[in-house]
A and B are shown apart, each in its own frame.
Chain A
């Protein structure tokens, strides 16, 4: 069966460091992958989409890579700030109508 794994439940880092979050999947061949941010008690917010023919995509301090051979996406936040503390979810399209399946998420805490 299809499965999405985010490698840990929590990641704690020092402000200014680079945070790297991992999303692995099995039994998928997705045309694209998305990353979302979710703050406690709020709905997710879209961050980045990367297509299967793209190796890397950047947006300000964010960088996403997509390795379809390893079936893995890495999400990087450079020069992390306490305001980056949140849960980050990866999502893959599964089915019609742009339906997405979400990973469990990784909670990032950036300490001052």
Chain B
């Protein structure tokens, strides 16, 4: 149980285009999902917290107009990288928490490798 999927697993796009990444909890409902970015040999950096039915909470330094997050249902959150540039190339990972307990572990998706040319 507690499986999280991401789609696509990798994407290559031209500079200036927008890319949408989907994160789905397959066998549980998640009121909260998280979006992370990870550069090579670096730790996961939290970008935003996505709550179903409300606006996402962005971490300091993350542009909310560039990284659009929509959490339209209890099993789906999307991250759209708008007007992507080469510096946005990274590994994007989502996670989800079943329930609302503060002690719950996060279940991660397999990640999406974004390359912007």
Listed in ascending order, the chain A residues whose CB lies under 8 Å from chain B are 9, 31-32, 34, 36, 41-46, 49, 51, 89, 93, 97-105
Q: Is B70's CB within 8 Å of the partner chain A?
A: no
Please report the total number of B residues contacting A with Cβ < 8 Å: 28
Q: In the complex, given contacts A36-B108, A104-B43, what are 14 additional A-B residue pairs having Cβ atoms less than 8 angstroms apart?
A: A9-B41, A31-B102, A34-B105, A43-B108, A46-B105, A46-B106, A46-B107, A49-B103, A89-B44, A93-B102, A98-B102, A99-B46, A100-B34, A100-B46
Q: Which residues of A contact B109 (CB under 8 A)?
A: 43
Listed in ascending order, the chain B residues whose CB lies under 8 Å from chain A are 4, 6, 32, 34, 41-44, 46, 49, 51, 57, 91, 93, 95, 97, 101-111, 113
Instruction: Given A43-B95, A98-B97, A99-B46, verify A32-B110 contact (CB < 8 Å).
Output: no
CA distance A99 to B95 in the complex (A): 11
CA distance A34 to B105 in the complex (A): 8
Contact A49 B102 (CB under 8 A): no
- B32: min CB distance to chain A, Å: 5
Contact B108 A97 (CB under 8 A): no
Contact B46 A97 (CB under 8 A): no
